[in-house]
Amino acid sequence: MGACGVHYRWHHVSYDNCVLREILIASMLAAAAFAAQTVDGHVVNSVTGIDVPGVAVNLVQAGQVAYSATTDSQGHFRIEGVRAGTYIANYTARGFWPIPNFLVDEDFERECGRCFLVERGDQPFQVTAGGDPVRLEVKMPPIGKISGRVLDYAGKPVPNASLQLHWGESWLCKMPSCIGISRQTKTNEKGEYSVTDLDVPGTWLLSAIAPSSWKPPESRDDQRLDWAQTFYPGVTDPQLALRVMVRIGGDISNLDIKLAAVPVQRIRGVVLDVSGHPVPRATVTLGNGIGSPALIRNTGGDGTFAFEAVAEGEWRISTNVDQGGPKLWAAQWVQLKAHDLENVELRPVAPFRVQGKIVMEVPEGVLAPKPPSVILAFNAGAAGLADKPAGTFLTGVPNAKGDFQIHNVYPGPYQILAGPPPPQYYLDSIQIGGHDALESGVDILAGAQPLTVAYKLGGGTVRGTVEKCAAGTVRLLPHDKAMWRPGFVLFAPCDSNDRYAITAVRPGEYYALAIAGDSPTPWYATTWDDDGLVNNASTVTVRAGENSSADLRAIKQ
């Protein structure tokens, strides 16, 4: 090979070695550029249509970030040299929902399978070598905001008050009998609060709690008073509270909460073991399940406990006892009204296990699918775990024959959640001892009869068109309201032609309705038992092995 300055002569054209090398490199770069492609896009606010600068854009391939960019002041981004393949684009920006958006954490996803909710936006796209540049148009939903003040009954601002926010009606249970999605904050020195991370649109329940340092209200007619947990705009009963609808990008101000002064009473009781002997140094917790900070006491040497100033209403008293073996646990709800409550008795017991079986139809000669898991979910008003926080699920993982056991179960009411059915199957029934167990509070006690979850093959198909669907979601709700729960309520998105199809549907009568994709309130933020929604629904009959048609018109909430 000649050095630079050595000339070659081909077809009467003279080239030196350096020029040949440059030509070769240029041709290689051109080939590489031809094999790669450009991905550019534009990100706007889904509510205002205004450009969103500073959005972090990642192209993900096989679970790994392959390329990254940031939008400019006009909301544009450009990524060059993207190799051919399938990608998913992730978008994150302060003050906006990330895309895609997962409403629950990975632990819940692993335990609950397909019963978790996923915001659409994770559709893959293809980059083709030598094809046209890929253009992505993205609408990012802004996060909702609320603000206001906390005042006492004299109108004086209350600094350092605690604000509790619970997301409207949970899809697993209804407030106040569940924990659900929540946010917390405190008021500033002027009694003002601002919540800017409401990244789940829908109805929110607001309440305020005075700091312990805030002077109690004066007694009235020899009746002791104290500040109660107060719900917006100024009531102590959450059922009477005004729920605040926070839509995508909503900014609601002047939500003032005026604290209520209420009579308080005493609660006294004792913790006894199974033989009736007092249990000293047991932890006793008093809570109401609606965001109020729990009160904690330890029993004395005689096993007694006392809560001296408790607002009237419904309260749950629970106790944990750790004696070196399995943790003992007990709880009960009490109603406090007009007078002190004496002689409350708690008898903690050890956990037990629940036997169960998954029953599945399997045609002869066909390999049986893997049986789904079963979950016991307890509510704030139900049973709990002595050694785990509220909201923890108890899971039964079946063997190949469908048999399972659920350990560390304490007596009380539970909601039984069946895992998502295998392809072509539908969830048919959940029973204990041959009786339906679909309620949100199914009492499970030691020695309970076996739990049986049945799945069947086939089912029917519901399909049709949705007028003005706008990439929205179709929902099927059984006519039997006892079945308005995970596993029996089914969902499907509309495709680009405003069509949908839901397969493997349990035979029966259903309400069919569609929530428009451009609705201010997403489909998952609407309550399942909203009669207003049902009034807009169509009725469809589903028969095994048959197609049923339901053409719908999307509604906005």
pLDDT value at residue 443: 87
Q: Which helix (H) or strand (E) holds 493?
A: strand 490-493
Model confidence pLDDT, tens digit, residues 491-534: 899 888 999 999 999 999 999 999 888 776 655 555 555 556 77
Encode 175-217 in three state secondary structure.
CCCCCCCEEEEECCCCCEEEEEEECCCEEEEEEEECCCCCCCC
From CA 20, how far away is CA 14, in angstroms rounded?
A: 10
- Residue 68 is given by DSSP the state E
pLDDT value at residue 281: 92
Q: Class of the 35-140 domain?
A: mainly beta
**Cα–Cα distance list, 397 to 123, 198, 385, 421 (Å):** 31, 35, 19, 14
Model confidence pLDDT, tens digit, residues 167-181: 755 433 443 334 457
Q: What is the number of other CB atoms lying within 10 angstroms of the CB of residue 106? A: 9
Region 365-385 average pLDDT:
73
Q: Kindly state the tokens that stand for 194.
A: 């601002």
Model confidence pLDDT, tens digit, residues 166-221: 875 543 344 333 445 778 899 999 999 999 888 777 788 899 999 988 998 888 88
Model confidence pLDDT, tens digit, residues 321-341: 887 778 898 888 899 888 999
Rounded percentage of the chain residues whose pLDDT exceeds 90: 46
Does position 108 have pLDDT exceeding 60, yes or no? Answer: no
From CA 225, how far away is CA 259, in angstroms rounded?
A: 12
Q: Which residues contact 38 (CB under 8 A, 6 or more apart)?
A: 78, 79, 80, 81, 82, 133, 134
The residue with greater pLDDT, 90 or 389, is 90
CATH number for the segment(s) 264-346: 2.60.40.10
Which pLDDT band, with edges at 50, 70 and 90, does 548 fall under? very high
Does position 107 have pLDDT exceeding 60, yes or no? Answer: no
Region 465-494 average pLDDT:
89
- Tell me the pairing of strands 144-151 and 257-258: parallel
The residue with greater pLDDT, 40 or 31, is 40
Which pLDDT band, with edges at 50, 70 and 90, does 392 fall under? low
Q: Kindly state the tokens that stand for 397.
A: 């993982």
User: What is the CATH T-level fold of the domain 352-452, as seen in this structure?
Assistant: Immunoglobulin-like (2.60.40)
Does position 232 have pLDDT exceeding 80, yes or no? Answer: yes
pLDDT value at residue 378: 63
* β-bridge mates for residue 332, sequence order: 317
Region 345-374 average pLDDT:
92
Model confidence pLDDT, tens digit, residues 437-456: 988 778 888 888 999 999 99
From CA 279, how far away is CA 271, in angstroms rounded?
A: 6
Q: Which residues contact 106 (CB under 8 A, 6 or more apart)?
A: none
Complete DSSP assignment for 397-460: ---TTSEEEEEEEPSEEEEEEEPPPPTTEEEEEEEETTEE--SSSEEE-TTPPPEEEEEEE--E
Q: How many CA atoms lie within 13 A of 58 on its CB side?
A: 15
pLDDT value at residue 531: 55
Give the strand order in the sheet containing 435-436.
403-409, 352-360, 451-457, 425-432, 435-436
Does position 112 have pLDDT exceeding 70, yes or no? Answer: no
Region 239-266 average pLDDT:
89
pLDDT value at residue 440: 74
pLDDT value at residue 516: 87
Does position 373 have pLDDT exceeding 90, yes or no? Answer: yes
Q: Which amino acid makes up residue 10?
A: W
Cα pseudo-dihedral 103, 108, 109, 113, rounded to 10: -120
Does position 122 have pLDDT exceeding 80, yes or no? Answer: no
Average pLDDT, the chain: 82
Helix%, strand%, coil% for the chain, nearest 5: 10, 50, 45
Model confidence pLDDT, tens digit, residues 62-94: 889 999 999 999 999 999 999 999 999 999 998
Radius of gyration for the chain, computed over Cα atoms and rounded to the nearest angstrom: 30
Q: Which helix (H) or strand (E) holds 461?
A: strand 460-467
From CA 260, how far away is CA 282, in angstroms rounded?
A: 33
- Tell me the pairing of strands 202-209 and 403-409: unpaired
Does position 225 have pLDDT exceeding 50, yes or no? Answer: yes
- Superfamily of domain covering 144-259: Immunoglobulins (2.60.40.10)
Cis ω before 176 (30° cut-off from 0)? yes
CATH architecture of 460-553: Sandwich (2.60)
Please check whether the two domains, 144-259 and 460-553, share a CATH topology. yes
Local structure of 279: helix, strand or coil: coil
pLDDT value at residue 158: 96
> Domain-by-domain residue ranges, the chain?
35-140, 144-259, 264-346, 352-452, 460-553
The residue with greater pLDDT, 400 or 21, is 400
Does position 379 have pLDDT exceeding 70, yes or no? Answer: no
Does position 363 have pLDDT exceeding 70, yes or no? Answer: yes
